[in-house]
Amino acid sequence: MKTIAVANQKGGVGKTTTAVNLSVCLAAKGQRVLLVDLDPQANATSAIGFESIDGHSIYGPLIGAVTVAEKVLPTRIENLFIVPADLDLAGAEIEVARLDDHLVRLRKALSVLKEDAAFDFIILDCPPSLGILMTNALAAADELLVPIQCEYFALEGLSKIVRIVEQIRDAGVNPELSIGGILMTMFDGRTNLSQQVMAEVTKHFAEAVYKTVIPRTIRLGEAPSFGKAIIEYDPNGLGAAAYTALAEEFLQRQQSGPEPAATIAPTEG
């Protein structure tokens, strides 16, 4: 079982869209997947049509009040399970920070699931911030999947993620953490900017960049409001094809082993 953190400190880059749709597409391929919504806004929870249930988030396991197994719920999608989010998670930033082992609370909570091998993959949908919840996710993850929007400041955001990963490793919190993949999202092949950003990111990160690219489509933006993954909402569209391809490439990478680690120089400005 592997734990994948889908993270980017920037908002609006397709992070939750990727966490949800990758989870659903992996489940459709027969993988047992647990989606953990770590964002108090509960966007991943609602995006698959799941109601937020007060007191049923990862907050209890983080503070050691209950086990994570008590919070795992089945979804209507075969092979897909969820630990939903609720507003209690907003308080975790304060409560967990007071604990001595505050950086590894999530890893300890998930360790029971790893021992039982209950799932093939745990997908962590991280909040768009550098707080306790995101750092806990990085400390718990085997690898990081970074969605980045094809826009001007893409490399600047990536340099920050790289520094965070290095800090987590250097502090001994998670020495094996690596960037398992970088996913280009909201790609518009009609614009020079998207092409240039893609080329620049690939130049710096080489094999870490997924060959699959997620296009900018209206349907991908609409699907969460109906509580559906893109393969349910628009199964024959470009978005569904892209996330299905991503799931296939993701599984191929997991079978062939991790790509070589990539580094990037800090961006000026």
* Distance from C-alpha of 114 to C-alpha of 121, rounded to nearest angstrom: 10
**Residue 257 confidence (pLDDT):** 62
Average of per-residue pLDDT values in the chain: 88
Higher pLDDT, 88 or 35: 35
Higher pLDDT, 153 or 244: 244
* Distance from C-alpha of 249 to C-alpha of 251, rounded to nearest angstrom: 5
**Residue 92 confidence (pLDDT):** 84
Specify whether the CB–CB gap between 133 and 126 falls below 8 A: yes
* Distance from C-alpha of 18 to C-alpha of 179, rounded to nearest angstrom: 16
* 10 inside domain: yes
* 261 inside domain: no
Range(s) of the domain holding residue 109: 2-256
* 265 inside domain: no
Residue 181 CB contacts under 8 Å (≥ 6 apart), including other chains: 143, 145, 146, 208, 209, 210, 250, 253, 259
* Distance from C-alpha of 139 to C-alpha of 13, rounded to nearest angstrom: 22
Look at residue 130 and tell me whether its pLDDT is greater than 70: yes
* 183 inside domain: yes
Average pLDDT on 102-120 reads: 89
Look at residue 260 and tell me whether its pLDDT is greater than 70: no
pLDDT in tens, 145-161: 999 887 777 777 788 88
* 266 inside domain: no
* H or E stretch covering 114: helix 105-116
* 130 inside domain: yes
Higher pLDDT, 103 or 20: 20
CB neighbour burial string for 17-50, b if at least 16 within 10 angstroms, e if fewer: bbbbbbbbbbbbeebbbbbbbbbbbbbbbbbbeb
Average pLDDT on 33-50 reads: 94
The closest of 2, 6, 53, 55 to 31, measured between CA atoms, is 2
**Residue whose structure tokens are 């490439």:** 249
* 117 inside domain: yes
Look at residue 106 and tell me whether its pLDDT is greater than 50: yes
pLDDT in tens, 45-93: 999 998 877 788 999 999 988 999 999 999 999 999 999 998 888 888 8
141 - beta bridge partners?
none
Q: State the total domains in the chain.
A: 1
178 - beta bridge partners?
143
Longest dimension (CA), the chain: 52
* H or E stretch covering 176: none
82 - beta bridge partners?
35, 73
Higher pLDDT, 210 or 203: 210
CATH at residue 205: 3.40.50.300
Geometric angle at alpha carbon 129, from 156 and 73, rounded to 5°: 130
Look at residue 267 and tell me whether its pLDDT is greater than 70: no
* Distance from C-alpha of 102 to C-alpha of 105, rounded to nearest angstrom: 6
β-strand pairing of 80-83 with 143-149: unpaired
Average pLDDT on 231-246 reads: 97
* 151 inside domain: yes
Q: Confidence band (pLDDT; 50, 70, 90) for 234?
A: very high
**Residue 268 confidence (pLDDT):** 36
**Residue 150 confidence (pLDDT):** 77
The closest of 81, 42, 88 to 62, measured between CA atoms, is 88
Residue 191 CB contacts under 8 Å (≥ 6 apart), including other chains: none
**Residue 197 confidence (pLDDT):** 79
